[in-house]
Amino acid sequence: MNLIARRKDEHQKTTTVRVGDVIVGGPELVVVAGPCAIESYEQLLSTAPEIKRLGATMLRGGAYKPRTSPYSFRGRGELGLEILSQVKALTGLPVVTEVMDARDIEQIAEVADMFQIGSRNMQNYTLLSEIGKTKRPVLLKRGLAATLEEWIFAAEYILAEGNDQVVLCERGIRTFGTYTRNTVDIAAIPALKELTHLPVFLDPSHGTGRWSLVSPVAMAGVAAGADGLMIEVHPQPDVALSDGEQSLNFEHFAELMSKVRPVAKAVGREII
């Protein structure tokens, strides 16, 4: 089928997606970093300048968090967005944050430079279509058990509404494996490059669920051709309200950046 998302031929360039001043899909290897959930002004304000100093060019942080249990911490909501807005103003970093409900789009659009659609909502067609109408950049995470074809069709729901600013983000799939939280499908990165013209990110934090594996898998993703990385960083992973086990502290994030840089260079990418 003649999808908008499909790469027409091998010479077609990867679409570039502009998020604030950051250009995704070009020579720069874009590193997005920040906490899983925005917990407090102090937490985000201590994190953002640090990740910027180390080479990240976008800030992530969830205000609305999809959680398996209704009784878990589900994010700070509006307060989270306000914190994000203030920290964005202070650091100048463009921000990406998740939208779970089409009714929140307008509110989130006031601060987000890029919407994130999470794995659980990859086939929430209402949300995809509404995001499609916004023309705002979108980071579309792969569903837990989505085939490449289903994922590309999910992107097509957005593209079909006229929004061509879509970045795909591999974040691991569900398999029989138990050592890691998910199984990073590393071949998906070059496969999506063959099949589509959209930029592709890797999230090794959710992909592995273990901080000690985040660096080597990030390096692998860059070597395989990823246009960007999404990394969970928290000032004190031990006391994080969510995803502490897979979050890097500043020291480990610095180490990741120092290891990723030479690999990026080896494949012709730059980290600013």
Site string for its own copies, 169-198 (x = CB under 8 A): ----xxxxxxxx--xxxxxxxxx--x----
d(CA 133, CA 185): 30
Residue among 210 and 252 whose Cβ is closer to its own copies:
210
Q: Looking at residues 48 to 87 of the shown chain, list those that interact with its own copies (rule: CB under 8 A).
A: 66-71
- N-terminal to C-terminal alpha carbon distance within the chain: 38
Alpha-carbon span 64 to 87, nearest angstrom: 17
Q: What is the dihedral of CA 5, 123, 167, 132, to 10 degrees?
A: 80
CB 51 within 8 A of CB 254: no
Backbone angles phi, psi at 60, to 5 degrees: -110, 155
Q: Binding marks (x or -) toward its own copies, 20..49, rule CB under 8 A?
A: ------------------------------
Structure tokens at 29: 């290897």
What token pair was written down for 244? Answer: 């502490």
Q: Which stretch binds its own copies (CB under 8 A): 51-59, 109-117, 202-210, 228-236?
A: 202-210
Judged by CB under 8 A, which of 78, 106, 150, 270 binds its own copies? 150
Where does this chain bind its own copies (CB under 8 A)?
Answer: 1, 66-71, 100-103, 120-121, 123-126, 129, 143-145, 147-150, 153, 156-157, 160, 173-180, 183-191, 194, 207-208, 210, 212-213, 216-217, 219-225, 259, 262-263, 265-267
